[in-house]
Amino acid sequence: LTLTLITLVFCSVACWAYVHFTGVELKHANSITQSFFLRRLCPIGALSAGTIVLGMASYLYITVAFVQMLKAFTPVMTMTGLVLFGLERPSTRVVMCVLVICFGTAVAGFGELNFSLIGLCCMLLAQVFEALKLIFTQVVLQNFKFDLVETLYYITPTSALFVFAFAAVREFPYMTTDDIDVLLANTYAFFLSCVFAILTNVINTFVIQFSSALVLKLVATARNALLVLFNAVVMGEIVAPLQFFGYSLSLLGFCGYNYFKVVERR
């Protein structure tokens, strides 16, 4: 949590400096009333922090394989939320492709399942929070026409505040001078982590703005599958047949999703 907090604070400071030193205009500055902030922006920060905290907690109770299986269904939750909020109306073919992607990833992640009800609940809640966070972010970007800089400028500090609240309770009381020494001894590594966090946030927000929250999750799923298959085919990494089949199925579903989306736009 502390590392996440450091990256969020760094991103917040970087956004503030970019806006105030480059003269970028925040077009919706006058629209950010207390009511708008509490109803539209604050929930995104809270959901982001909840996703991080619950996602990390789940690893204390269940195996990585089980976590990956559960994560495979985040696109389904995101698509369901988009439909319920009236933001998307996917065709039957698109829905089937999303289900194929999720099923393939779940099959690939099948392994030793150390079941824990607490871990299961933490991971499922983390997925629900992430899906809602992405949906609310899409509403701010597309419905309220916020641009990329504005979105990060307002949401990142809010997320940092909620993560700080969790870290203050769960980690700060147990930190020692040794932890501070580790931070000081690896300043360069932490700095790079913060820089990559900014790039990740920018890319994710860009994808949501010009496509949708569902596309973001599907791209992430396809990326993981492609990486595993690349390592197996090109780098010679040993991959179980079930994993190879599962990730191949995910990529096939992803290709089908893109094909049908292109066909439907014509």
Q: What percent of the chain has pLDDT over 70?
A: 93
Residue whose C-alpha is closest to residue 51's, from 120, 156, 162, 129: 129
pLDDT at 65 over 70: no
Neighbours of 162 (CB within 10 A): 21
The answer to which of 25-29, 46-50, 259-263 has the lowest mean pLDDT is 259-263
DSSP tag of 212: -
Classify residue 150 by burial, with Cβ atoms within 10 Å: 0-12, 13-18, 19+.
buried
Could you report the per-residue pLDDT of 138-153, keeping only the tens digit for each? 999 888 889 888 999 9
Q: What is the pTM of this model?
A: 0.84
Mean pLDDT value across residues 53-75: 80
Residue 125: its pLDDT value, please? 93
- 155 vs 25, more confident: 155
Residue whose C-alpha is closest to residue 215's, from 181, 257, 185: 257
Could you report the per-residue pLDDT of 89-104, keeping only the tens digit for each? 888 888 998 888 888 8
